[in-house]
Structure 1
Amino acid sequence: MNAHHALDAQTDTSMGIPRRYAWLVFALTFGLLISDYMSRQVLNAVFPLLKSEWMLTDSQLGWLSGIVALMVGLLTLPLSFLADRFGRVKSLTIMAVLWSLATLGCALAESYGQMFTARFLVGVGEAAYGSVGIAVVMSIFPKEMRATLASAFMAGGMCGSFLGMALGGVMAEHFGWRWAFGGMATFGLMLALLYPIVVKEKKINPSGQAYTKEQQPVKVKNALKTLYSSRTVIATYIGSGLQLFVAGSIIVWMPSYLNRYYAMPTDKAGILAAVIVLGGAVGTIFCGMLSDRLGRVRADRKTSLAISFCLGSCLLLSAAFALPAGTVQLVLLCLGVFIVIGTNGPSMAMVANLTHNSVHSSAFATLTIANNLLGLALGPLVIGKVSDHLGLHGAFQLMPLMSVFAAAVFFYAKRHYHNDITRLTEQGLLPPSAPQQYK
């Protein structure tokens, strides 16, 4: 009985969905992810203005950024569970409306306390969007495209960061920082209203397999076990989170770094920081495609690539921040950022391979928890605290060392991959072909 349901869950869920419609759904879901990160990262571009207007420390600024990632980490799993059961399209729409309205609240904030509250609500709205959104995308395309799609989808976060920092910096410099938040909120609300008109639950789930009552016992008793029952999956969660400590810190603090050490005004610092981050978006897509290509014969090569991306980014970023401000430093910095989140695609593909399809939203939510609590929340907070004592340049010199720990955890995952695939198959939680398919 268990093996039968596991086999059903691993079949191609994209059957019956027109490819043109699938790409339309991807585009709109991708667009909302861009809005998500525009609302989240526009704050980074206006750090210098808030710091001077409200006399804030780097630790306080770090909290304004970190509270969003913290709420994402705390709420993504329960909200993803609810989305799996009550409808992903409806859930995504509600999330987008909430974070857009909260971003509008940031524009109206009159004090640090009010801004902190609005940012808290931004985090609540964004909490489960990444995990539920990627579950929608993966369910409407063939599973052979998992790492590429995951990387392309998550590149939306980097694209949103690019637009949030670039447009936010320009708008803040010419119209004031409040207009920067207001512009991001307007864009998000427009997409949120369009999404449920075009994307329908029945169209993206024609078989109804993820929501039928008959499968609920399978989810609870068996499928949920795959979220935490293998050392490979747990190590992948942790390794991905540790690597995002570095990426998250760069995204949040780079505009401030350029403002302080290159004497750039807000608009120019925001644009250059955004271009650097955009290189990371291109890089993560390239790394995902490379992972899919090299992992066709042996899926565990995805983990080997993740290790390489961690160590490569550590070497490049360490070299960059060992140099003084200048062209050479910027070139090395761009190269390091290009591969710093290359672990996204391999990590998501590994999680998808080792968990039951019916709980993929919850699996990606668990990955999101690790990414946010260990990376996107902790990174900016720690770097802000260290910056108060050593300066931002000194904090950036220490930051790449976290990638060494991430690489070590991915190495542990690689060692246990084959045994975990075999054990989960014997327990009926993966199809009988899994040991050969993912060897």
Structure 2
Amino acid sequence: MRPHNAPRQVDVDSHQKRDQPNTDITAQDYLFGRKATVWVFALLCLLMVFDFADRMIIASLLPYIQRDWAINDAQAGFLSSILTIGMVLFAFPVSIVIDRWRRIKTASLMGIFWGIASAAGAITQSFSQLAATRLLVGAGEAAYAPASYAWISAAFPHRRLQLALGLFSASQPIGMAIGIALGGLIAQHFGWRYALGVMAIPGIVIALLLYKGRDYRTILPIPLPAQVFAGKALDSASSAMVQQLTHRQVIRQNWHSIRQTPSLLLTYLAAAMATLQWVPIVFFLPSYLHRVHQIELATASLLTSSILLIGIVTLPLGGWVMDRLTQKYPSSKLYIAAAGYALATLLYVLAFSLVSGLWLQFALIIVAGALLTFL
């Protein structure tokens, strides 16, 4: 996230610069003007919707896959988590590639890649083949979020940044809800293979539209060797070394900054623990409702998706509230986040340990999810 008064280290591509200056006062501090920024932002949000739809669809399909292939709960859990493993393995290397190349084109190509990988799951013939396709989906999605967040942080003015990030993050629960609800309905009527194939198509189409979106070029500090100051031209080997060292220096500097910021490290840890809470709940809630409360699978998927829809309100609302609150109390977000995570944990414990009634349990899960998405 860009500091409040920090200059933007970006440069709009020369072929994308406008011939005339932007005379719209309300849009002057948007990197590409308000209209162009909102257009690309809308495509990023839509692609994020189907990112999470393709990611979470497996939650509603697990009971059908278990029935067809006779896999146990441990294998079902692995099938749910293998996508995350792919994201973890590829997130850091692709983030480096993003900094050295194009954010929008990277997001577009990775959207096409994970869409094809997700659709390929429809023609798999074994558990291992399906797991491999889910791993590839995770690899593709690993590049999308870093590229999108970097672009949004640079393209929007500071006064709109938290709201933009909140709206973008709100695409996540929408996508989860769509993936689980439609996945369950399609699987019930046509089979789980059709669900994987059909849900992959919109993401591929949106990714193709995004490819021509406006982007910026990162300006990196390049240490100039002695030849430059002596008025001598650099050969190709020296130029390559300069570029390579520049990126290494930037990576080392960023890594050093992260290690020297305890609040950031604790935030990463808290986010990981929060994810450890809600991801298993979302993935296995349809199966849980079906087994424990004897609810039909399609209905269980719809109930699970309804829990996720609360994030449509809480995510942008949280961004809007934090925008205003941190203007007066800069440290307040840390205390609010800590209190919210603690309360959400308590509610989850109550829901699954001490409460047996369906609707009270359901209400506790909704409130806990609302807290996590608001923060």
1:280 maps to 2:294: no
Q: How do residues 61-72 of structure 1 correspond to structure 2 at under 5 angstroms?
A: 61-72=76-87
Kept in 2: contact 1:12–1:142 (CA 8 A): no
Residue of 29, 54, 58 corresponding to 1:39:
54
Residue of 331, 344, 362 corresponding to 2:363:
331
| Letter matched to residue 76 of structure 2 | L
Kept in 2: contact 1:280–1:339 (CA 8 A): no
CA deviation vs aligned residue, 1:383-439 (integer Å, no higher than 9, x gap): xxxxxxxxxxxxxxxxxxxxxxxxxxxxxxxxxxxxxxxxxxxxxxxxxxxxxxxxx
Residue of 64, 67, 71 corresponding to 1:49:
64
Residue of 91, 98, 116 corresponding to 2:113:
98
What's the CA shift for 1:46?
A: 0.9
**What residue number does 2:238 align with?**
none
**What residue number does 1:184 align with?**
199
| Letter matched to residue 194 of structure 1 | L
- The one of the two structures with greater contact order (alpha-carbon pairs below 8 A, sep at least 6) is 1
What's the CA shift for 1:17?
A: 2.0
What's the CA shift for 1:130?
A: 1.2
Q: How do residues 336-355 of structure 1 correspond to structure 2 at under 5 angstroms?
A: 336-343=368-375
What's the CA shift for 1:318?
A: 2.4
Kept in 1: contact 2:9–2:219 (CA 8 A): no
Cα distance between partner residues in 2 of 1:255 and 1:149: 31
Cα distance between partner residues in 1 of 2:360 and 2:137: 37
Residue of 226, 234, 237 corresponding to 2:265:
234
Cα distance between partner residues in 1 of 2:297 and 2:118: 20
Residue segments in structure 1 that go unaligned for 5+ positions in a row: 1-5, 344-439
Change (3 A) 1:294 1:16: closer
Cα distance between partner residues in 2 of 1:227 and 1:93: 28
| Letter matched to residue 177 of structure 2 | F
Kept in 1: contact 2:115–2:203 (CA 8 A): yes
Change (3 A) 1:43 1:221: closer
1:139 maps to 2:138: no
Residue of 201, 221, 244 corresponding to 2:275:
244
TM-score, normalised with respect to structure 1 = 0.71
Kept in 1: contact 2:180–2:302 (CA 8 A): yes
Bigger Rg, which one: 2
What's the CA shift for 1:155?
A: 2.0
**What residue number does 2:130 align with?**
115
Kept in 2: contact 1:291–1:302 (CA 8 A): yes
CA deviation vs aligned residue, 1:160-185 (integer Å, no higher than 9, x gap): 11000001010000111111101111
**What residue number does 1:200 align with?**
214
**What residue number does 1:424 align with?**
none
SS of the equivalent of 2:374 reads coil
Change (3 A) 1:214 1:65: same
SS of the equivalent of 2:328 reads coil
TM-score, normalised with respect to structure 2 = 0.82
What's the CA shift for 1:223?
A: 4.7
How many residue pairs were aligned? 331
Cα distance between partner residues in 2 of 1:275 and 1:245: 20
| Letter matched to residue 32 of structure 1 | L
1:81 maps to 2:96: yes
SS of the equivalent of 1:341 reads helix
Q: How do residues 374-393 of structure 1 correspond to structure 2 at under 5 angstroms?
A: none
CA deviation vs aligned residue, 1:287-332 (integer Å, no higher than 9, x gap): 2222222111222111111112102212322222221132222222
Kept in 1: contact 2:116–2:200 (CA 8 A): yes
What's the CA shift for 1:221?
A: 6.1
**What residue number does 1:156 align with?**
171
| Letter matched to residue 351 of structure 2 | A
| Letter matched to residue 96 of structure 1 | G
CA deviation vs aligned residue, 1:180-238 (integer Å, no higher than 9, x gap): 101111111111111113x122xxx3xx4x24675974735645532333112111111
Kept in 1: contact 2:185–2:298 (CA 8 A): yes
**What residue number does 1:398 align with?**
none
Q: CA RMSD in A?
A: 2.3
Residue segments in structure 2 that go unaligned for 5+ positions in a row: 13-28, 224-242
Change (3 A) 1:26 1:312: same
Kept in 1: contact 2:31–2:154 (CA 8 A): no
Cα distance between partner residues in 1 of 2:175 and 2:151: 19
Cα distance between partner residues in 2 of 1:15 and 1:226: 28
What's the CA shift for 1:335?
A: 1.4
1:60 maps to 2:92: no
Cα distance between partner residues in 2 of 1:12 and 1:151: 25
Change (3 A) 1:7 1:330: closer
1:268 maps to 2:267: no
Percentage of matched positions with identical amino acids: 28
What's the CA shift for 1:15?
A: 4.4
**What residue number does 1:8 align with?**
7
CA deviation vs aligned residue, 1:260-309 (integer Å, no higher than 9, x gap): 12212221111110011111343233222222221112221111111121
What's the CA shift for 1:242?
A: 0.9
Residue of 30, 37, 50 corresponding to 1:22:
37
Kept in 2: contact 1:243–1:310 (CA 8 A): yes
**What residue number does 1:254 align with?**
285
